A and B are shown apart, each in its own frame.
Chain A
Amino acid sequence: MNSATPLLEVEGLRKSFAGVHAVDNMSFSVAHNTITGVIGPNGSGKSTTIDCISGFQRPNAGRIRLDGRDITRLTPQKIAKAGLIRTFQTVHIYEAMTLRENLLQAARPFQASGWVADFLRLPGMRREVDAAMVRADELVDMIGLRKYYDAPTRILSYGQKKLVALAAGLMPKPRLLVLDEPVAGVNPTRIREIEEVILNLHAAGESFIIVEHNVEFVMRLCERVIVFVGGSKMTEGDPKSVQQDARVLEAYLGIPA
């Protein structure tokens, strides 16, 4: 890892649907060990950009590099293995599995042992499970849901499910975790808890991109904020300067400059 290389570099990204450019000439980069916020009005290309970065949609043009490595046309699973994990706007968790199983499953693709070791329960596989269990124990305490550790996640509330998705994303210690609206529809006390979790992890060296409509949440957490408008980056900067940028206010809040 060369600290001069940005952690994530997006260059000239374009994605069109039936001739309409959802994202056009999108370029931005994210440094190591940062929390970067992405804001923008509806239809500004936030979700499409995340989908392109994480491989769920194929861009029509542009380059995406993770820590210098080109990940532009890789499948979602390969991008995840390369160290970029994303969460989803609508909660995606394994509802029929327990919280513990959700976390262990999230670590599984990053472990070395294959099908034979799994089938025969070889010692290497057992060691991996033990190691993942230690990590899961830390995370379940961090999100404060130990009480529900062995309960199927189906019974949890919406906000709690969002926390499970967050913890699952953190299980493999990704280089970069992209959170798609982590606090949409979550009650204010819970939002505070999520903030704390993210700050603690950041202190431990984790990097985040947070896409959120909740501007206060983004302003409190992020060191840098990128503003998307109309499918490309309009501006970026520290929270204060972005907040005072007249163009941002106009685009975001509809207040004429």
Chain B
Amino acid sequence: MPFLAVTVVAVAAFLPLVVTSSYILSVGVTMFLYLVAAMSLNVIYGLLGLLSLAHIAFWGIGGYFTVIAVMDLGLSFWVALPLAGLFAGVVSIAVGFPALRLNRHSFVVVTLIFALLTTLVARDWVSLTRGPMGIPGIPSPYFFGHEIAGAYSFYYLAGAFALVSLLLLYLFFTSRIADTMRAINQSEDLARSQGVNPTAYKLLAFFLSAFFTAMAGGILAFNQRVIDPLIFDFFFMQAFLIMVIVGGRGSFVGVLVAGAVMSILPEVLRFSVDLRMVLYGLALLAFVTWAPNGLAGWIRERREERLRSELRQ
């Protein structure tokens, strides 16, 4: 496993030296950012089973915060980006505190309403966000005097960001903190009876999911060089959700693989412009039918079946 991981990272790192197509590199940029966003959704939705539709809001808030901090406040991109993460994290605590007092179903509704409200703010607070026209002309970040512009350098920026974020998230997913979250997801009453305070874990999960997603959204905005309310488009939310569900909720490796495949698949399917979305839909249907618990769930079920028959003997 570590060998495979190092190989994948090495191949990804040397890819731009071989592939010069900026189209392929920009697919890579998107994939890196989607991976981080999907994996952070996997913290709150996968580990705790709390479907947060506010994820799209944090993605957009991160984008707007970074852009406004750089363009209006004159902050450096490298300061603005982590600040955007922290800002979204603080917002997530403010929203999560009341929303997490409710049951799971109400939580979904409250996060959806929050996502819709942020879209409204982005569209209507014209003096801050310039409304539906968006903010064009986002300047390039500079890295030690080197301008980051174009697919090639953004490939490395987004790639490095994804590498660091995913490493941290991997440490998190394999920690005892994540185990306690899985426990809360399986039986909150049992966890409480054992001395766990579920609210603290839920707030932490919500914070982490907002923190990483916001930074990914910030990089996306600088890559696009323009930000408008379309960053709150439900397309993104649906893409992240599909990655988590197809990969298997709560599984790090599953969502990593599904995230990569689901980022690349729609592009590969471009050979047939008419059937592209039909094929994508068919692939999804196949998964929902035959592997409702995702990639990781399917593998786990096979393993359990084997274990059962072994133990019977």
- Taking chain A's interface residues, is the majority helix, strand, or loop, or is none over half, making it mixed? helix
B183 proximity list for chain A (CB < 8 A): 94, 97, 105
- Indicate if the CB atoms of B176 and A75 lie closer than 8 Å: no
Interface flags for B5-33 (1: CB within 8 Å of A; 0: not) read 00000000000000000000000000000
Q: Which residue of B lies closest to A117 (CB)?
A: B176
Residues on B with beta carbons closer than 8 Å to the beta carbon of A118: 175-177
Output the residue of B180, B186, B193, B197 with the most chain A CB within 10 A.
B193
Contact of A80 among B182, B194, B198, B311 (CB under 8 A): B194
Whether, in the assembled complex, A172 has its beta carbon less than 8 Å from a beta carbon of chain B, the answer is yes
Interface string of A64-78 (1 = CB under 8 A from B): 000000000001111
Task: Report chain A residues within 8 Å CB of B182.
Answer: 94, 96-97
Q: Are B193 and A54 within 8 A (Cβ)?
A: yes
Flag whether B270 is at the interface (Cβ < 8 A).
no
| CB contact list, B169-227 vs A, under 8 A | 171-172, 175-177, 179-180, 182-183, 186-187, 189-190, 192-198, 204
Among the stretches A17-25, A40-48, A149-157, the one at the interface with B is A149-157
User: Is the CB of A12 closer than 8 A to any CB of chain B?
Assistant: no
The distance in angstroms between the C-alpha atoms of A108 and B304, with both chains bound, is 26
Q: How far is the CB of B296 from chain A (nearest CB, A)?
A: 12
User: B interface, by DSSP: helix, strand, loop or mixed?
Assistant: helix
| B-contact 0/1 string along A122-162, CB 8 Å cutoff | 00010001000000000000000001100110110000000
Judging by beta carbons under 8 Å apart, are B197 and A77 in contact? yes
Task: Please name the residue on chain B nearest to A168 by beta carbon.
Answer: B194
What residues of chain B lie closer than 8 Å to A54, measured between beta carbons? 193
Interface size class on chain A is 35 or more
Residues of A within 8 A of B171 (CB): 119
**Chain B residues near A168 (CB-CB < 8 A):** 194
Contacts of A56 in B (CB 8 A): 189, 192-193
Most buried by A among B179, B189, B192, B197: B192
Contact A105 B189 (CB under 8 A): no
- Least distance between A238 CB and chain B CB atoms (Å): 30
B101 within 8 A of A: no
Tell me if A252 is interfacial: C-beta within 8 Å of chain B. no
Chain B residues in 8 Å Cβ range of A76: 189, 192-193
Q: Which residue on B lies nearest to A102, using beta carbons?
A: B183
B105 interfacial by beta-carbon distance below 8 Å:
no
Question: Is B273 positioned at the interface, with any CB of A under 8 Å from its CB?
Answer: no
| B307 close to A (CB within 8 Å) | yes
A93 an interface residue at 8 Å Cβ cutoff?
Answer: yes
Q: Min CB distance, A103 to chain B, in Å?
A: 11
Q: Give chain A residues whose Cβ lies under 8 Å from the Cβ of B308.
A: 155
Q: Given A151-B311, A155-B311, does the pair A77, B172 have CB atoms closer than 8 Å?
A: no
- At the interface, yes or no: A28 with Cβ under 8 Å from chain B? no
Find out whether the CB atom of A92 lies under 8 angstroms from the CB atom of B307. Answer: no
- Which residues on B sit within 8 Å (CB–CB) of A152? 304, 307
Q: 0/1 per residue, B161-172, Cβ < 8 Å to A?
A: 000000000011
7 more A-B residue pairs beyond the given contacts A77-B198, A94-B183, A154-B304, with a C-beta to C-beta distance below 8 A = A80-B195, A108-B194, A109-B194, A119-B175, A119-B177, A155-B307, A172-B194
5 pairs of residues in contact across A and B, judged by CB atoms under 8 Å:
A76-B192, A80-B195, A88-B193, A108-B179, A108-B180
B interface residues, Cβ below 8 angstroms from A: 171-172, 175-177, 179-180, 182-183, 186-187, 189-190, 192-198, 204, 304, 307-308, 311
User: A-side interface residues toward B, CB under 8 Å?
Assistant: 54, 56, 75-78, 80-81, 85-88, 92-97, 101, 105-106, 108-110, 115, 118-119, 121, 125, 129, 147-148, 151-152, 154-155, 168, 172
6 closest Cβ pairs, A-B complex: A109-B195, A80-B195, A92-B190, A76-B192, A81-B195, A118-B176
